[in-house]
Amino acid sequence: MGDFFVLALSAGTPFILASLGEIFSQKSGVLNIGIEGMMLIGALAGFSVAHHSGSPWIGLVGGVIAGSLAGLIHGFLSITLMAPQVISGMALTIFGFGITSFLGKPFLGLPATSFETSILGVTPPVIIALALIPLSVFILTKTRFGIHIRAVGEYPEAADSAGVNVSLIRYLCVLIGGGMAGLSGAYLSLAYSPMWREGMTAGRGWIALSLVFFSMRKPIFALLGAIFFGALWILQFKLQGLGFGVSPYLLMMIPYASTILVLSLLSSERIRGRIGVPEALGKPYLR
Amino acid sequence: MKRFVFERRLSTTQEGYLRVTVLSILFSIFLFGVFLLLGGSNPILAYLKILRSAFGSLRGISHTTLRMIPLVFTALAFALPYRAGVWNIGAEGQMYMGAFLATGVALSIQGMPDSLIVPAIIFSGFLAGAIWGAISGILRGLLKVDEIVTTLMMNYIAILWVSYLVTGPWREKGGWGYSHSSLIPKERWIPFITGTEIPVTIVLGVLFAFIIALLLKRSRLGYEIRVVGANPKTAELAGMSSLKTILLVMLVAGGLAGIAGAGEIAGVQHRLRMGFSPGYGFTGIVIAFLSRGNPLVIIPVSFLFAGMIVGGNTLQIVMKLPSGIVEIFQGMTLFCLAGGQFFLEYRMKRRKRWEIFSSSP
Amino acid sequence: MRSDTVVELKGITKAFPGVVANKDIDFELNRGEVHALLGENGAGKTTLMNILSGLLRPDDGEIRIFGKPVSFRSPREAISLGIGMVHQQFLLVPSLSVVENIVLGHKEEGFIPNLRNVEKKIKTLSENYNLEIEPRAKVWQLSAGEKQRVEILKALYREAQVLILDEPTSVLAPQEAEGLINALREMTSEGHLSVVFVSHKLPEVTAVSDRITVLRRGRVVAAMENDNVDYAVLSNVMVGRELQKSVSPRRREKGGILLEVEDLVVPDDRGVPAVDGVSFTLSEGEILGIAGVAGNGQKELGEALIGLRSATRGRVIFCGKEITDITPRQAIEKKIGFIPEEPLTIGLAGGLSVADNLILDTYRSSRFLRKGLLDYNKIEGFSRGIVDTHGIKTPDLGLQVGHLSGGNVQRLILGRELSRDLKLLVANHPTKGLDVGAADFVWEKLISLGEEGVGIILISEDLEEIQTLSNRIAVMYEGELVGVEESGRVDRKKIGLLMMGVGKEE
């Protein structure tokens, strides 16, 4: 059972990282459905930086930077140019897939420069992901930055009148979202399944996105959800080996189906007010 | 403090749309050219290659037309709800559900006159897609659940469902371990247009584009759709039902995407495969967005995009470029279009410092 | 000794395209006083206060704070000089707590604000100023009165010495308003804080203020100590303008009863009764003017009559049939028309063409159909007719309505409603924002409509409009109709007083 938990945690780590980042972005009012694309970009960048530098740690940093840059495109389009966020995010997904397939060709089949240490049976990035949970909670609830994020996502006019720079906060959050998605991708290509493969995120970005809604944008719930979805991810391979007749594909519907269920159950105005839905989500702000 | 501010343009005109769209596309062509140049290819040669392979021969045009079919349907599936203010980004999933039911009917139906089987296949595609779309429509209309999220999530449920079928109960017995269903009997394929290898679904697609254009422009229902999309409160004042309208557009949109799935399986691929679509549902959104929701504009734009896919694939093979360039170009186009929207609605104005906080009284 | 004058505005002038909102205004605020700024809607009060709070820059004039001339470039600079403004619309984030809202945007707390300390400070402030609040409560849990206290505390926390309250009681229940007035008196008693109290309600102004400055049409028309002020004089100063009659109400024969409203109760969006037991009748061809300051339930009354809002009590009888639970579509079918206050918010679709907007309530009729489709030749012919008779200036019928000017938008909606056979018209501020010529046009149309036998409910804040057009006049105040009278016998002063909540007939 302990082994299974470790497996689930390792499989759930990409979800933790990417959805934490998206929580920041959405809380500030920017919907970025391009997680899958940013993760791929992070995965390839992480892999190649580690390959050239010889250090998986520098690789992780490379993944974060590349992911942030990808996020920056979305930020520029959706914050400065006030583009429709769904369209821009979708473009990011398509572009991320294309550019990584294109640039990743030389790295196909190479071994990753991976982590050699493991702590309590997991690779270091897993520990980082776990540490980022309380850090995110702290930033979102206790710091001025966090208060500003929530204000900007919920009522930008109020934040603006109080002297908060709405665009700046949103840019920072989109960068955080991109950086975390990049880190998530780099974890995949450097630690979880150390190699580069075209489209290697295999839909994890979409699961991370659904996790953000599933967890009502609360980091703690995102952690629990990520372990749950991670367990499903592991089970899809295990169950068949154990002779159970459940298809892995049916199993992987659960994250999406449960997200729709949660959203439907939480749809009343009253509940929305309580859990702090960023009412300005997806809406550009122009004074 | 900003020296430049943006203000909403007072009017946006047809010429404005056209200018911004054309400039956005030209800019993305330029960007992609720079990209190719950096990658060591000659962009002009590459563009010529794309044009020649996609549109330069009968064979190329035939390929392009084949690719165009699902794009027309999925683009319409985005465009129709878009006019009612509903974002259906679930055409991919609705297409998979259409493919699922169409395959089921094609493989199992018995005792039906031959002449009705193909229509039944297409209708079942419509039906499954419509139901899939309607779920999001109901959730949005009744519970105000964001349709962007639900349609997006339901894509993956549908894709997984098809994956389950073709790896499980519907997997071809005695196949070589491939994940697909058995072949649909040839007499149940959607027939080709005489003298070509293009299934008749293309006619259906073009027909639907015209019907929807007519519906939107000239019918009372279409009028209601436009009013609901433009101002839901005004629609309520005029006694229109938003719920009914939203549900209806999602039913039809899902159904159209479902036909795309039925057409792709029963007309082109002839068996249900895992991941049979290279993202037609998403490309459809790009097309519809580029066409600004105008069904008639969707037809030529789909043709161009299909050409880009065909040409991109050829380019990849002939110039020995790595895969992914089609997606790169699509992504760039979409970035430019999304960004270009801004210049349509806002104009940059240099202001005196003190004017920055001024607004009307 | 520092000067006793905290704020001094001299010769403030501010123009917007087409309107001079403030003209040569002088205003002084002394230490520890409550200075009321009285005036009708549109008199320029809010503009003046936005200038004082740094939101707007005056075209001309001088602002002195503690004797020093200043020139604000942003609200932030005004805040740093001790000027805090509480806007009519609360600028608070619902899911954040009171404390979090108060520190929002306040740099002094550092990256990790010590919310416990802030909480203590807030507690002290709220005790000192008698503004009771639970600092940890989330703003969505608070009542309107509590939210207002948070806004005031927010200003005080930033060490505001001047507090500007823009129509502070408009969102409050009567008891809450009373509490606020008491709190303000107490807050200023020690002389640290001075208050500008912007309002159009006479009783509260006289209850709270030391001095009163009256604005009318962007100018100061009176400034006085609050000392045995005569309401009648004050209200006359405030609303008294010369009647520039270009249209005149005409005597008509009274027709049969068209509409009876009995004890109607209609809730607003929050579920609080906005219309609270209203009864009246309307005859055919009669224009009933409902005067009143915005927010007293007129909007909800109008919306209930056309089916946009449902009543929780009472009955509406129209042409002898009960229509209390009417739907908007039935209202159209029963020949009830509606002119909304802001047509582009509700009533028109800005993104659709002139022609499309003109058929909004007639598109179901078979006259536009040919072979089951809308016949745009007929629609354009119909639209062309309305455009011509109502003088709507548009380059073509395909133009998006959002691009028309305000006057043309109003003509368009009027033209649309008058284009069909009506029995009842609910007109909500039909000339708001229109210039004199455009308003005259609307008035003439309404009068001739009345002569044709259509019953009209005219909701307006503009007394001149109400008096010119109406056969009978009623005043709505806090959800109730007070004083329904024949317009011939109406004393303008009295109506003004009723609108402001004075002399309510018991």
Q: What is the pLDDT of residue C242?
A: 43
Size of chain B, expressed as the number of residues it contains: 361
Q: What's the token pair of residue C486?
A: 């024949």
For chain B, give the mean pLDDT.
Answer: 88
How would you class A257 by CB atoms within 10 Å of its CB: exposed for 0-12, middle for 13-18, buried for 19 or more? middle
pLDDT of residue A31: 96
Burial of A53 (0-12, 13-18, 19+ CB in 10 A): middle
Chains interfacing with B (3 or more CB pairs < 8 Å): A, C
User: Over pLDDT 90: what percentage of chain C?
Assistant: 41
CA–CA gap between residue B219 and residue C173 (Å, rounded)? 49
Q: Rounded to a whole number, what is the distance in Å from the CA of C49 to chain A's nearest CA?
A: 15
CB contact under 8 A, A145 and C111: yes
Contact of A144 with chain C, judged by CB distance below 8 Å, is answered with yes
Least confident of A39-48, B220-229, B344-353, C359-368: B344-353
| Residue A256, burial from CB neighbour count under 10 angstroms (0-12, 13-18, 19+) | buried
Q: Residue B355: its pLDDT value, please?
A: 38
As a whole number, mean pLDDT of residues B95-121 equals: 93
Say if CB C158 and CB C283 are below 8 A apart.
no
- In B, minimum Cα distance to C355 occurs at B223
**3-class SS at C12?**
strand
Show the domains of chain A with their CATH numbers.
2-272 (1.10.3470)
Q: How far apart are CA A74 and CA A97, in angstroms?
A: 15
Which chain A residues are closer than 8 Å to C160 by Cβ? none
Q: Which residues contact B208 (CB under 8 A, 6 or more apart)?
A: B72, B73, B76, B256, B259, B295
Query: Would C5-239 and C255-335+423-506 be classified into the same CATH topology?
Result: yes
Q: List pLDDT tens digits, range A77-100.
A: 999 999 999 999 999 999 999 999
Q: Is A285 touching C (CB cutoff 8 A)? A: no
pLDDT in tens, C180-232: 898 888 888 888 899 999 987 788 888 899 999 999 888 898 888 888 787 77
- Go through B142-156 and write b for each residue having 16 or more CB atoms within 10 A of its CB, e for each that does not: eeebbbbbbbbbbbb
Cβ contact C55–B357 (<8 Å): yes
Residue type, C464: E
Q: Round to whole Å and give the CA distance between C63 and C341.
A: 35
CB pairs under 8 A between A and C: 68
B239 three-class SS: coil
Contacts of A29 (CB under 8 A, 6+ apart): A152, A153, A154, A156, A170, A278, A280, A281, A282, A283, A285
Chain A, residues 219-278, CB within 8 A of chain C, namely: 273-276
Count CA atoms closer than 13 A to A67's CA, side-chain side. 38
**C97: pLDDT strictly greater than 50:** yes
Cβ neighbour number for residue C241 with a 10 Å cutoff: 11
3-state secondary structure chain A: CHHHHHHHHHHHHHHHHHHHHHHHHHHCCCCCCCHHHHHHHHHHHHHHHHHHHCCHHHHHHHHHHHHHHHHHHHHHHHHHCCCCHHHHHHHHHHHHHHHHHHHCHHHCCCCCCCCCCCECCECHHHHHHHHHHHHHHHHHHHCHHHHHHHHHHHCHHHHHHCCCCHHHHHHHHHHHHHHHHHHHHHHHHHHHCCCCCCCCCCCHHHHHHHHHHHCCCCHHHHHHHHHHHHHHHHHHHHHHHCCCCCCHHHHCHHHHHHHHHHHHHCCCHHHHHHHCCCCCCCCCCCC
Q: What is the mean pLDDT of chain C?
A: 86
- What integer is the mean pLDDT of B220-224? 95
Residues B174-189: pLDDT tens digits? 767 778 898 999 999 9
Report pLDDT for A239. 77
Report the residue of chain C nearest B228, measured CA to CA: C349
Interchain contact A48–B (C-beta under 8 A): no
Interval C231-286: pLDDT, tens: 777 777 776 644 444 455 555 566 789 999 999 999 988 788 999 999 999 999 99
Contacts of C72 in chain A (CB under 8 A): none
For domain C5-239, the CATH architecture is: 3-Layer(aba) Sandwich (3.40)
Q: Quick check: C92 and A158 CB within 8 A?
A: yes
Structure confidence at residue C435 (pLDDT) = 63
pLDDT of residue B173: 81
Q: Do A147 and C100 touch (CB under 8 A)?
A: yes
Subunits next to A (3 or more Cβ pairs <8 Å) are B, C
CATH fold of the domain at C255-335+423-506: Rossmann fold (3.40.50)
A82 touches chain B (CB under 8 A): yes
The torsion angles phi and psi of C25, rounded to 5 degrees, stand at -95, 130
Q: What is the secondary structure of C434-459 as a DSSP string? A: --HHHHHHHHHHHHHHHHTT-EEEEE
Chain C interface mutation, best of A26, A135, A147, highest count of C Cβ atoms under 10 Å: A147
Q: Tell me: pLDDT of B19 over 50.
A: yes
Q: What is the pLDDT of residue B352?
A: 39
Q: Is the pLDDT of residue B47 over 50?
A: yes
Chain pair B-C, CB pairs under 8 angstroms: 91
For tokens 């679904």, name the residue.
B201
In this complex, is the C-beta atom of A137 within 8 Å of any C-beta atom belonging to chain C?
A: no
Q: What is the largest CA-CA distance in chain C?
A: 87
Structure tokens at C140: 């969505």
Determine, for residues C100 and A143 on separate chains, whether the beta-carbon distance falls below 8 Å.
Answer: no
Q: What is the pTM of this model?
A: 0.87
Q: What is the mean pLDDT of residues A9-22?
A: 97
Which of B1, B12, B354 has its CB closest to that of C57? B354
pLDDT in tens, A171-212: 999 999 999 999 999 999 999 999 999 999 999 999 999 999
Report CA B290 to chain centroid distance, whole Å. 11
Mean pLDDT of C40-61: 86
One-letter amino acid at A181 equals: A
Closest residue to C95, CB basis, from A143, A164, A276:
A276
Q: Which residue of B has its CA nearest to A214?
A: B149
User: What pLDDT score was predicted for residue A80?
Assistant: 92
pLDDT in tens, B292-314: 899 999 999 999 999 988 998 88
Task: Check if the beta carbon of residue B184 is closer than 8 Å to that of residue B106.
Answer: yes
Number of residues written out for chain A: 287
Which A-chain residues 153-182 have CB contacts (< 8 A) with chain C?
A: 154-155, 157-159, 161-164
For residue A140, what pLDDT is reported? 95
Residues of chain B with C-beta less than 8 angstroms from the C-beta of A259: 149, 153
Q: Nearest to residue C270, comparing CAs of C171, C174, C397? A: C171
Number of Cβ within 10 Å of residue C143's Cβ equals: 12
What is the spatial distance between Cα A244 and Cα A140, in angstroms, rounded to a whole number? Answer: 42
pLDDT of C370-402, one tens digit each?
888 999 999 999 999 999 988 888 888 988 888
User: CB-based contact (8 Å) between A261 and chain B?
Assistant: no
**Would you call A249 an interface residue with chain B, using a CB distance cutoff of 8 Å?**
yes
Encoded tokens for B161: 């469902």
Are A163 and A170 within 8 A, CB to CB?
Answer: no
Compute φ and ψ for A18, nearest 5 degrees. -65, -40
State pLDDT tens for residues A212-270: 999 999 999 999 999 999 999 998 878 777 767 778 889 899 999 999 999 898 877 76
C52 has a pLDDT exceeding 60: yes
Instruction: Give the pLDDT of residue C391.
Output: 84
**Helix residue spans in C218-317 (DSSP H):** 231-239, 298-305
The upper half-sphere exposure of residue B184, i.e. CA atoms within 13 Å in the direction of its Cβ, equals: 30
CB-based contact B341 A84, cutoff 8 Å = yes
Number of helices (H), then strands (E), in chain B? 13, 2
Sheet holding C273-283, edge to edge: C273-283, C257-267, C313-318, C321-322
Classify burial at C69, counting beta carbons within 10 Å of its beta carbon; exposed 0-12, middle 13-18, buried 19 or more: exposed
Q: Are C425 and C337 in contact (CB under 8 A)?
A: yes
Of A82, A99, A267, the CB nearest to B324: A99
Q: For all residues of chain A together, what is the average pLDDT?
A: 91
Domain boundaries, chain C: 5-239, 255-335+423-506
Query: Pick from C91, C100, C105: which is nearest to A157 by CB?
Result: C91
pLDDT given at position B320: 80
A17/chain C closest Cα distance in angstroms: 24
* pLDDT higher than threshold 90 for residue A63: yes
Q: How far is CA A167 from the centre of its chain?
A: 21
Q: From C358, which residue of chain B is nearest by alpha-carbon distance?
A: B238
